[in-house]
Amino acid sequence: MGTADGGAKKAVVSAEEMEKSKGVREAYTSFGEPVKVFYGPEDLEGFDYEREVADPGTYPFTRGIYRSMFRSQLWTMRPYAGMGTSEETNERFKFLLQSGQTGLSLAFDLPTQLGMDSDDPLARYDVGKLGVAVDTIEDMERIFDGLQLDRISTSFTINSTAAVILAMYVLVAQKRGIAVDRLRGTVQNDILKEYVARGTWIFPPRPSMRLISDTIEYCLNRIPRFNPISVSATHLCEYGATAEQSVSLPFLNALAYIDDVLKRGYAIDQVAPLVVFHMAVGGRRFHLFEDVAKLRAGRRLWAKLMKERYGAQNPESLRLKFSTGALGGGMTAAEPLNNIARGAYFALAAVLAGTRSLNMACFDEAYAIPADLAIRTALRVQQILAYETGVTDTVDPLAGSYYVESLTNQMEVQMRKTMENMERRGGIIKAIEDGSLQRELARQSFEHQEKISRGEKVLVGVNRFTSPEEEKPLEIYRANPKVRQMQIERLKAVKASRDSQKVAEALSRLRRAAEGNENIFPALFTAVEARVSVGEMISALKQVWGEFQEPQTV
Amino acid sequence: MPKPRPIRVLIAKPGLDGHDVGAKVVVQRLRNAGMEVLYSGLRQSTEKIISAAVQEDVDVIGLSILSGSHLELTQELMAQMREKEITDVLVLVGGIIPREDIPLLQAQGVDGIFPVHSPLEEIEKFIREQVPRKRGEMLPEKGPEK
């Protein structure tokens, strides 16, 4: 350093430059802004607690949608189950309920998700594999045999065929004399994200939207405690969405569903309270504070959107109700036990963000669907968090942090930008139809993967701190290969014993309903009652609505 | 001596599995590496994959399977390739593949297995090294010069 002007120069060298020269690591947010080495009051200049944050349970609900949150009620620890046969699933459910679970979660095999029967040749390798196979209402009756449907809440991970599955569930309850309006639960029913991620679409987006609106309308009128849609962030995240996109894209989807139902003449305060979200934490882009901040910002933004744009009055319309999925994409194949630690941090983020329900990816996620040990461990991780760490003692403990509040503000700005940008592009449905959204996310996931390849994004045990020795193979879950044969025989028996005249009539009624504008549910009930199979109903609807043709997605 | 044409790859999603984020990441990596890469889209039958591979004269078929049906789907594809006497196409399988299934896939005749989180550079390197071997150095004659 020169001597003559050294002193003067020193004065203009900022603290940040000094730090850089001392080898302080650079850090950026997921939206590309530099992260300061530390945050202080100047980062929250003009901060208005009442307007931007407010007490929990108070508009704009940044801190939480209810006042006492975990002090009154812990989050629901919801393991994902659904396996092989309907009997196995039923046994599992009974076991889970006996061991204190309050909420059930049902996974379906791919053929059921895609509207194919178990005897469909295209389904030959997938029956009963990733979840339970449902062909007719008889399968549904076996799954819920002996369970008090008015006392449990069941979450159904089903999208394209959600209306059919819901109609079956309602009829099972009715047949047992349970008042339908007492049913509680959720169908995922979020088709728009299926075109972008995960891919269980059947029909083109427009008729799919109609089917969803029919479901929302049916629930709104008949089973008001049932959530007809759970707008999901998790798959979008696994498909390359950034932290802010993991909230803003589901919001765009949700608004598309809401707008579609509003066109039928319903009021926002009838519709909005039924729309719930499945948010995402963790995954390969995990950042503890960004995940917390995006969900805090999400609660605030949703409340403002509902109030300012839609004129909602009912507080239930303003509350962003979400469960959270801790993403399996963050779980590595290398050194799988490390994933227990990852899962714990993901869970911590979800809980610090005030989730109402959490389902966890398991440590064997990169190998198979979770084995018993992995499922139990994921539950224990949550129980340790709930009972051993003190994290539940006070609501939104990160509020007021210079860093977290300013990150929350930044997240909201980014989300608004993304939403406005998409609306300028002609809306999210258009971006899905032309494949531009899919390509954008594919590019982002590629860029992120390249960062891992280059070692810029560290994955312990994968690109840093790796161990040379071969891993011992994990004990993994294997699907029961006999399920398919059994399902085929059952389906055959159903088809042999039902009234084929009634079946034909039910199918033609279903087609007529699809061609017209009436709500499809009455026609679905007739078909389910006549023991028409999922595959038969979906084929009939395909005849009217056609099938989605994938645009170029990469 | 004609200039060798770029390596041509078909990345395909057989069966019902809709998880294609990894497949699309591989597509982009190989394209950036100068290969010609086709992506099949979802829910392709093995018959369709093979006929696309033949029609497009590809050097590599990469299957992406995350639904647990990798053994069945790969077996089917390999049997159909043998039937059609296709021996010069490199077959790769990626996705959620339990370790103990790797030797089973190899026994079916799969050339390379890349479970989730395999480094992209390994996939690229493997293709570059193995395609000429598989083709018996016939690469330039196989397709028209580009």
Whether B96 sits inside 8 A of A200 (CB atoms) is no
Q: Is residue B1 part of a domain?
A: no
Domain tally for chain B? 1
The pLDDT value recorded for residue B135 is: 81
Neighbouring CB atoms inside 10 A of A101's CB total 18
3-state SS, A398-425, equals CCCCHHHHHHHHHHHHHHHHHHHHHHHC
B63 touches chain A (CB under 8 A): no
Would you say B41 and B73 are in contact if contact means Cβ atoms under 8 Å apart?
no
Place of tokens 């002996």: A146
B79 touches chain A (CB under 8 A): no
Q: Is residue B3 part of a domain?
A: no
B25 touches chain A (CB under 8 A): yes
Average pLDDT over residues A108-136: 94
* Predicted confidence (pLDDT) at residue B146 exceeds the cutoff of 70: no
The pLDDT value recorded for residue B137 is: 60
User: Bigger pLDDT: A324 or A3?
Assistant: A324
Judging contacts by C-beta atoms under 8 Å, the chain A residues touching residue B98 are 367-368, 473-474, 476
The pLDDT value recorded for residue A18 is: 65
Q: Is residue B27 part of a domain?
A: yes
Best mutation site among B11, B16, B20, B27 for testing chain A: the one with the most A CBs within 10 Å? B16
Would you say A319 and A272 are in contact if contact means Cβ atoms under 8 Å apart?
no
Average pLDDT over residues A478-490: 88
Judging contacts by C-beta atoms under 8 Å, the chain A residues touching residue B96 are 366-368
Minimum CA–CA partner of A480 in chain B: B68
Burial degree of B62 (CB within 10 A; 0-12, 13-18, 19+): buried
Q: At A103, phi and psi to the nearest 5?
A: -115, 135
* Predicted confidence (pLDDT) at residue A415 exceeds the cutoff of 50: yes
* Predicted confidence (pLDDT) at residue A544 exceeds the cutoff of 90: yes
Whether A129 sits inside 8 A of B24 (CB atoms) is no
Q: What is the pTM assigned to this prediction? A: 0.93
Q: Is residue B54 part of a domain?
A: yes
Average pLDDT over residues A216-221: 98
Q: What is the mean pLDDT of chain A?
A: 92
- CA A318 vs CA A273, A306, A314, A457: distances in Å: 8, 6, 7, 37
* Predicted confidence (pLDDT) at residue B143 exceeds the cutoff of 70: no
Minimum CA–CA partner of A366 in chain B: B96
* Predicted confidence (pLDDT) at residue A154 exceeds the cutoff of 80: yes
Whether B18 sits inside 8 A of A198 (CB atoms) is yes
* Predicted confidence (pLDDT) at residue A120 exceeds the cutoff of 60: yes
Whether A367 sits inside 8 A of B98 (CB atoms) is yes
CA A370 – CA A381 distance, rounded (Å): 15
Whether B25 sits inside 8 A of A445 (CB atoms) is yes
Q: Report the gap between the CA of A445 and the closest CA in chain B (Å).
A: 7
B16: nearest CB among A111, A474, A550: A111
Q: Report the gap between the CA of B120 and the closest CA in chain A (Å).
A: 7
Average pLDDT over residues B55-63: 97
Neighbouring CB atoms inside 10 A of A152's CB total 18
The pLDDT value recorded for residue A10 is: 45
What's chain B's length in residues? 146
Q: Report the gap between the CA of B86 and the closest CA in chain A (Å).
A: 24
Whether B67 sits inside 8 A of A110 (CB atoms) is yes
Q: Is residue B2 part of a domain?
A: no
Whether A199 sits inside 8 A of B72 (CB atoms) is no
Structure tokens at B1: 């001596």
* Predicted confidence (pLDDT) at residue A165 exceeds the cutoff of 50: yes
Q: Is residue B49 part of a domain?
A: yes
CA angle A305, A265, A524 (to 5 degrees): 105
User: Bigger pLDDT: A391 or A375?
Assistant: A391
* Predicted confidence (pLDDT) at residue B38 exceeds the cutoff of 60: yes
Q: Is residue B108 part of a domain?
A: yes
SS3 content of chain B, % helix, strand, coil (to 5): 45, 20, 35
pLDDT band for position A9 (cuts 50, 70, 90): very low
What's chain A's length in residues? 554
CATH code of B74's domain: 3.40.50.280
A98: Cβ contacts below 8 Å, ≥ 6 apart = none
* Helices (H), ranges, A223-371: 234-238, 245-262, 268-271, 288-304, 315-318, 338-352
Tens digits of residue pLDDT in B88-127? 999 999 999 988 999 999 999 999 999 988 899 999 999 9
Would you say A356 and A322 are in contact if contact means Cβ atoms under 8 Å apart?
yes
Is the C-alpha dihedral spanning A242, A244, A249, A254 positive or negative? positive
pLDDT band for position A77 (cuts 50, 70, 90): confident
Bridge-based pairing state of the strands A226-227 and B8-12 = unpaired
pLDDT band for position A471 (cuts 50, 70, 90): low
Judging contacts by C-beta atoms under 8 Å, the chain B residues touching residue A554 are 24, 27-28, 39
Question: Residue B77 sits in which domain range?
Answer: 8-142
The pLDDT value recorded for residue A17 is: 67
Judging contacts by C-beta atoms under 8 Å, the chain A residues touching residue B29 are 446, 449-450
Structure tokens at A343: 């899962």
Tens digits of residue pLDDT in A248-265? 999 999 999 999 999 999
Would you say A130 and A109 are in contact if contact means Cβ atoms under 8 Å apart?
yes
The pLDDT value recorded for residue A479 is: 74
pLDDT band for position A14 (cuts 50, 70, 90): low
* Predicted confidence (pLDDT) at residue A6 exceeds the cutoff of 50: no
Q: Is residue B70 part of a domain?
A: yes
